[in-house]
Structure 1
Amino acid sequence: MSQQDDTEREFDIKWADGAEYKEPSARARMLAARWKENPPEPQPFRAAPGPRTPRRSSWASTAIVLGCVIAVILLLGYSRFQAPY
């Protein structure tokens, strides 16, 4: 085979882009088949957010964290005090 044959066989992107019909992707075909039997319900542009659970105040979270830190400090101090030197 000559090098000229190889250049003729190269994929021509301009020729592919100029095709009249482009095959849909596998996902598009799957969704089209699924929606043919069971069409999706219409959705608003931005769906309403779901119900929110009430959050603790920032003071409660701060108190919990500080309480844990103080408990660890006291526990370490107590274990150090009980340990024989």
Structure 2
Amino acid sequence: MAEQDEWEREFDHAWVNSAEHKEPSARARMLAARWKENPPEPAPFRADPDPVGPRRSSWVSTAVVLGCVAAVIVLLGYAQLRSPY
């Protein structure tokens, strides 16, 4: 029972969250120091990277996949006909 109390005391999240002062993380401190001297450029929310070319039709992709599957089936059938067993 004493171990249970120590465990609860060690991981008392309510006590941690009620702290008056919360120290920022190391990354937050690093970025704050870096941005004091050199602030970042403004960027739109989830800006698109470089524009991509036009997409191919999904029918073209489907035809390519089905053609590959048909070729594999034909090759396997041919290999089975040629095998002596």
Normalising by structure 2, we get a TM-score of 0.65
Within the alignment, does 1:68 sit opposite 2:68 as a pair? yes
When Rg is computed on C-alpha atoms for both structures, the one with the higher figure is: 1
CA RMSD across the alignment: 2.6
TM-score, normalised to structure 1, is 0.65
CA distance in 2, matches of 1:79, 1:55: 37
Unaligned runs of 5+ in 2: 1-8
- How many corresponding residue pairs? 72
Q: Where do 5+ consecutive residues of structure 1 fail to align?
A: 1-9
Deviating beyond 4 angstroms after TM superposition, the runs of 4 or more aligned structure 1 residues are none
1:13-43, CA deviations, whole angstroms, 9 ceiling, x for partnerless residues? 38x62x4x54332222111111122111122
Share of identical aligned residues, percent?
69
